Chain A
């Protein structure tokens, strides 16, 4: 535990009230950004994609499951992976319990990966998640949106020094760094109007932190996230701690 200044309840309250003003300002700024996201133009998805699901082959429009909004988490689980990416698995620990609440707000949330459907299903069962998962292995869906990298895109990265955390994560998924980073984590949002599907939003990297609930709990603790550069990543699959 870090050394810490100790104060009276009154000291704490005064400083906490000052911080609350800044927290409220940040909350309002978050609302503004949401408004700006909603103002982004929609882009028609012109290509026809086919996904493998437990209920057979489906088009992107069919994945909406009767709702008018679709949120896809691009879960890193490529064809050479033995098991899903550790970080994506921790994200799914947040996503899965929120599926029924999002469904009540006209939003279907699901996972898409490139590994074959059978492997995704087996892993989903191991992890005990109640969230739909489709395989985009037979389509260019992930590639077109930039969540699968081409050899050419990966070349400079693979020719450089591979960060130890990438080695660690690749190993945990039973693949090598190249196989691992061919997949990219991301979130994409869609809507449907008059039979046409539009993409409305895309994010990746730290833009995915809203789906990592544990970070925001840790942000309210004394030690915080407590991640030091160069250290192996602390995340494990929930059944591997």
Chain B
């Protein structure tokens, strides 16, 4: 650990009290944004999407299961990947733990990827997750929601490798594919609502907007060294059974 100023308990508590006021303000602002998200208009889906599951082909409406809200995590697992993206896997670890609580609040959670269902199922078993996972291999679903791009297009348009964050090449290798194939898949979360048989899109996020699915970050944000990763962000993340 680097050198750091030390203090008496009284001094610490005074400084902590001051920061607490700012933390509370941040919490209230978080509440405000949740309210603003709920105020976004709903968009009825015009297309009928059919996804592959272990139980056969299902429509998006079917995948709500018995609930009226669905959160899809666009898990990066493209057709050419040999294994799921390590960062997405670290997120699924956390999601898997809280499934029963989400179900109790009328929310179904679903992973969707473009790899064939057999590959997804085998990886899910390896990781020991119970979250349902559907393949959009034969559907426009991923493309329409910005979660996949045509590989040819990526090859033509991608910036030089040294202009991409180090995590891109790192995770391409970890998933057993090449860089264009890796970045042709995109991570993100989309939420849907089902009302009177119509499916509506209510919210989508990506980029740092998915940090709400990475509880290790806010926990590290409370540890003395913080995230401690600089520009090489996420390159320390392994699948939970890949840590030495």
Beyond contacts A200-B224, A214-B105, A222-B202: 7 other A-B pairs, Cβ-Cβ < 8 A, are: A6-B44, A19-B36, A33-B221, A41-B4, A41-B11, A42-B7, A109-B219
Q: A40-B15, A43-B6 are in contact. Are A101 and B237 (CB under 8 A)?
A: yes
Whether, in the assembled complex, B155 has its beta carbon less than 8 Å from a beta carbon of chain A, the answer is no
Chain B residues closer than 8 Å to A8, beta-carbon distance: 43
Whether, in the assembled complex, A219 has its beta carbon less than 8 Å from a beta carbon of chain B, the answer is yes
Name the one of B12, B22, B98 contacting A217, with C-beta atoms under 8 angstroms: B98
- Number of chain B residues whose Cβ lies closer than 8 Å to a Cβ of chain A: 84
Whether, in the assembled complex, A149 has its beta carbon less than 8 Å from a beta carbon of chain B, the answer is no
Check B102–A100 contact: CB distance below 8 A. no
Least CB distance, B190 to chain A, in whole angstroms: 9
Whether, in the assembled complex, B58 has its beta carbon less than 8 Å from a beta carbon of chain A, the answer is no
| B176-204 interface (Cβ within 8 A of A) | 189, 191, 193, 195, 200-204
Chain A residues closer than 8 Å to B104, beta-carbon distance: 234-236, 241
A interface, how many residues as a size bin?
35 or more
- Using a CB–CB distance below 8 Å, which chain B residues touch chain A? 1, 4-9, 11-12, 15-16, 19-20, 22-24, 26-27, 29-30, 33-44, 68-69, 71, 90, 93-98, 100-107, 109, 189, 191, 193, 195, 200-205, 208-209, 211-213, 215-216, 218-228, 236-238, 240, 243
Smallest CB-CB separation from A222: which chain B residue? B193
Check B201–A40 contact: CB distance below 8 A. no
Check A16–B102 contact: CB distance below 8 A. no
Chain B residues closer than 8 Å to A30, beta-carbon distance: 26, 218, 221
- Using a CB–CB distance below 8 Å, which chain A residues touch chain B? 1-2, 4-9, 11-12, 15-16, 19-20, 22-24, 26-27, 29-30, 33-38, 40-44, 68-69, 71, 90, 93-98, 100-107, 109, 187, 189, 191-193, 198-203, 206-207, 209-211, 213-214, 216-226, 234-236, 238-239, 241
Least CB distance, B218 to chain A, in whole angstroms: 3
Chain A residues closer than 8 Å to B200, beta-carbon distance: 4, 6
